[in-house]
Structure 1
Amino acid sequence: MKDLIKKWNSISLIKRIICGLIIGLVLGLVVPQASVISILGTMFVGALKGIAPLLVFFLVMSALCHMKSGQKTNLKFIIILYMVGNLVSAFVAVIACRLFPVTLTFTDSVSATDITPPSGIAEVLTNLLNNLVKNPVDSIVNANYIGILFWAVIFGIALKHANKGTKDALENISDATATAVQWIINCAPFGIMGLIFSTISEQGLDALLSYGKLILVLVGSMAVVIFIINPVIVFIFTKQNPFPLVFTCLKESFITAFFTRSSAANIPVNMELCKKLGLDEDTYSISIPLGATINMAGAAITISVMALSTAHTLDIHVDFLTSIILCVLAALSAAGASGVAGGSLLLIPMACSLFGVPNDVAMQAVGVGFIIGVIQDSCETGLNSSSDVLYTAIADIREKRLRGQK
């Protein structure tokens, strides 16, 4: 058994994941009734979601209490990158909708109409700020990463003057949690096999064909950000060939995020990738969980495309200036998407209100979003999560280049 595990671990994780993906796809088409296979996916995502809050809490706390006076991080620059990424992504979506306008076929959706969307950007940001000061234990239990980060920073700073034994104990707990994460990540091939089986057996391939053009505009916009916008940003700040870094982030982060469809579940994966890239732990231990909360380029694209498509369906003309206002609204609201139950889809009515679209019609657009969610949410999460690592790496490389010039 020990030799078998050793041989299994010697195979590249990506190769193992691809094998799991292919097997899950085949099983989903051949034996869709074998629902027991989907348990593997549920357990994998559950394990990642379960360990991620503890990893973030102890990693941030340990990093801050060990941080020396005057030690610098790149958090300010990373946050700027996050917000610029959201804004530019929304603008890409606006251009895509002008070039390829989409007419929606509205269908009522019980899951959509049963949920009340936020009334405006003020409510989204208020929810975000309220989550900041929630009970720390409650934040860990409910995976409220804004709250986890806030209290981890508070305790980390408070423990800066603790004795060496206390700091070492925190570091040991952090290392043990990271080891547990690595064990879970090694199970990714089985988890992804279960996830892809569940998707194919339950949704099938036919259900998505009628929304082909909408999916193409959404996925195409995200592809432009991934393969054009992000490489340009990398080159501007690092003066290096951007594609090795971009493809590393896609290979190591996008794939798992695509199938787990959860930025929170992908935090451990991103932490491990940052470590592999040799990035500053004091920076990525904070920037990665923060990015899972506010770096929502994919959500900004979804909000913009769905709102503009709804307006086009209703023959509402949207001028360019209003489109720019939509970009800003989508970028800001996307940053608070994790603080709203339902994520980016429930922010569509807020964006639609900018064009005077009635709420009941906007909620039908949300229903369409739920139907295509298998592809839309997967690609959105992949873009969001892989960009967390990419922007953190940009800041680290830029800092090292600037120090080398001095």
Structure 2
Amino acid sequence: MKKIGLLPRIIIAIVLGILIGLVSPEWLVRIFATFNGLFGNFLNFIIPLLIIGFIVPGIASVGKGSGKLLGFTAGIAYLSTIGAGLLAFLTAKILYPNLLNNQSVKEFTNPEEALASPMFTVEMAPVMGVMSALLFSFVIGIGIAALKLETMLKFSEDFRSIIQLTIEKVIIPLLPVHIFGIFANMTHAGQVGAILSVFIKVFIMIILLHLTYLMIQYTVAGTTSRQNPFSMLKTMVPAYFTALGTQSSAATIPVTLKQGKKIVKRERIADFAIPLCATIHLSGSTITIVSCAMAVMLMQGHTYTLASLMPFILMLGITMVAAPGVPGGAVMAAVGLLESMLGFGPAMTALMIALYITQDSFGTACNVTGDGAIAVLLDSTVDKKATA
């Protein structure tokens, strides 16, 4: 199974979960539910550590950049990420009432009541709350950058390596099993048919949103640099398809950098902006997370407004900074916000992860392709003295 990518494993898990759920007795489904409960509790335990492990060195490392150019790059990347979230919200707000109109609220209200219960649970209390972890990360990360504390930076990077190892060796390998259990349970409860129809509709909408947002990004970059946006997009196609295969912005940096240098005048801008944006610019992932979150909320009978989603979108742009360079890293970093700010429960979180993972590679491809547009925008707007 290690030779099979995460997406195929998730698809296999969903199919097997549905098939097993159709024929399994309740006692067997309860065994799966027990594993899901244990895995979900461990996920809750690791989330604050994940936030600290990736945001602290992410902020601290950014602080070592080159002043004005660093601030300008981070600002544009953040605004681009927030803009992507707003586009996803507005599109879902307009389309979901009709797109998902076959999924009545009654089908998904209080789904935990219909699901089989675990045989036992083990409490795994997190060391701190999600908001406390975020505030702690901001304070420590900014402090390390401001005071240039190399020892603490090295410690934070080592801690990040531990958390990333946990994600790569524990969470990601067990994620398909978790998804399998959830779908077996939902199938046993008679809920899976409507959920699969949602998957297909949301998947198509998200891909179209990715392509639309890339056109917006390159139209803006082309206007400022007086280049043809379609020509620039064509140049970045190798980076897009490389990201589809790697599902990692970090792993795609060499290709993104090579193609990005072809559309900027000053290569040093690309050398600076593209590796940085690989960790702080996640417009594609944000479109996916916001779209999926709103679909899951609608399925569960929850209401959403711009006032309730906007704080989540703003925090999402920060929380995903330096998200691990592994498949599904962005959604793992966002789980804490989904639970603390949007009230997601275990079933909603599992649905969210499954929805996200099925198109994670497309979100990553949108991220890295958009990095080229930011490099072009910087190259045409930042004063050359900023790079001196």
| SS of residue matched to 1:276 | coil
| Paired residues of 2:84 and 2:287 also in contact (CA < 8 A) | yes
Instruction: Write the letter of the residue equivalent to 2:206.
Output: L
> Structure 2: any 5+ residue segments left out of the alignment?
1-60, 119-123, 146-151, 165-194
SS of the equivalent of 1:317 reads: coil
1:373 equivalent in structure 2: 357
Q: Distance in 2 between matches of 1:89 and 1:243?
A: 20
1:311 matched residue in structure 2: 297
Q: Which residue of 1 aligns with 2:274?
A: 288
Alpha-carbon shift at residue 377 of structure 1 (Å): 0.8
Q: Which residue of 1 aligns with 2:82?
A: 87
The verdict on how the C-alpha distance between 1:283 and 1:73 changes in structure 2, with shifts beyond 3 A counting, is farther
The offset of 1:350, in angstroms, is: 1.5
SS in 2 for 1:290: helix
Contact 1:83 1:331 in 2 (8 A): yes
Deviation (angstroms), 1:88: 0.4
What is the deviation of 1:140? Answer: 12
TM-superposed deviation, 1:319 = 2.3
C-alpha displacement of 1:94: 0.3
What's the counterpart of residue 221 of structure 2?
234
Give distance in 1, aligned partners of 2:306 and 2:264: 43
Q: Aligned residue for 2:205?
A: 217
Q: Displacement of 1:256 after TM fit?
A: 0.8
> 2:235 matched to which residue of 1?
248
Q: Is the 8 A contact 2:248 2:325 kept in 1?
A: no
Instruction: Decide whether aligned partners of structure 1 residues 117 and 266 sit closer, same or farther in structure 2, where only a CA change above 3 A counts.
Output: farther
Cα distance in 2 for residues equivalent to 1:349 and 1:121 = 9
CA offset digits 1:103-133 (Å, max 9, x no partner): 598899x9xxx99899535535755866984
SS at match of 2:248: coil
**Secondary structure at the residue paired with 2:257?**
helix
Is contact 1:118-1:124 (8 Å) kept?
no
TM superposition shift of 1:213: 0.8
Aligned twin of 2:53: none
User: Which amino acid is the alignment partner of residue 210 of structure 2?
Assistant: M
2:154 is matched with 135
Q: Counterpart of 2:213 in structure 1: which amino acid?
A: V
Residue equivalent to 1:389: 372
Aligned to 1:167: none
CA distance in 1 between counterparts of 2:283 and 2:125 reads 24
Alignment of 1:136-215 (within 5 A): 142=161, 211-215=199-203
CA contact (8 A) 2:207 2:362 kept: yes
Given that residues 78 and 395 in structure 1 are in contact (C-alpha distance below 8 angstroms), is that contact kept between their aligned partners in structure 2? yes
Quote how far apart the aligned CAs of 1:135 are: 2.4
Identity %: 19
Shift of 1:265: 0.7
Provide the aligned C-alpha RMSD in A. 4.4
Distance 1:319 1:211 in 2: 22
In 2, Cα distance between the equivalents of 1:124 and 1:224?
Answer: 32
Aligned residue identity for 1:393: V
TM-score between the two structures when normalised by the length of structure 1? 0.54
Q: Number of aligned residue pairs: give it.
A: 266
Cα distance between partner residues in 2 of 1:137 and 1:320: 35
